[in-house]
Amino acid sequence: DVVWQPPITHSNFSLKNGSTLPIKFKLFTQEGVLIKSTQEIYLAVHKGTFGEPLGDIVAGWVLGKSVKHLRFSKWGGQYIANFQTNKKGLVDGDYTAVVHDGCTEEVLGYIEFELSSRKNTNRGNKPSK
């Protein structure tokens, strides 16, 4: 299971277009135990809300050690990627961050958010998926 960490802890989060968002999450077993070893996964931000099929990938991260990669902290079991909207030329609208299994492409978890030119606002407190 994917558990999203602040600043995105619930769906309907709104992000100001032109800013950088740290996307953080942890992986847990089905029994609720934190997985403290690196897993073969990747993170992608898709245009639109979650659905079948997913929208186009507008940003993606594979595991690595630089700020351009999906990084893993063994101490906290946390993954982090920096989503720099100002470098992507993205239009306002709905986007979905998705954790994919690196071997099977299976969706392990996702969370939706809005990208907006107006000031950041939280649009509600709906539990993450």
Give the H or E element holding residue 4: strand 2-4
pLDDT of 104 higher than 90: yes
What does the alpha-carbon distance between residue 111 and residue 62 come to, in Å, rounded to a whole number?
18
Residue 124 is predicted with a pLDDT of 40
The average pLDDT across 26-31 equals 95
Question: In terms of pLDDT, which residue wins out, 119 or 103?
Answer: 103
What does the alpha-carbon distance between residue 53 and residue 34 come to, in Å, rounded to a whole number?
29
- What is the CB neighbour count within 10 angstroms for residue 19? 12
Question: In terms of pLDDT, which residue wins out, 45 or 127?
Answer: 45
pTM (2 d.p.): 0.84
pLDDT of 47 higher than 80: yes
pLDDT of 33 higher than 70: yes
Residue 88 is predicted with a pLDDT of 75
* pLDDT tens-place string over residues 53-90: 888 999 999 999 998 999 999 888 999 999 988 877 88
Q: Is the dihedral of CA 39, 45, 49, 54 positive or negative?
A: negative
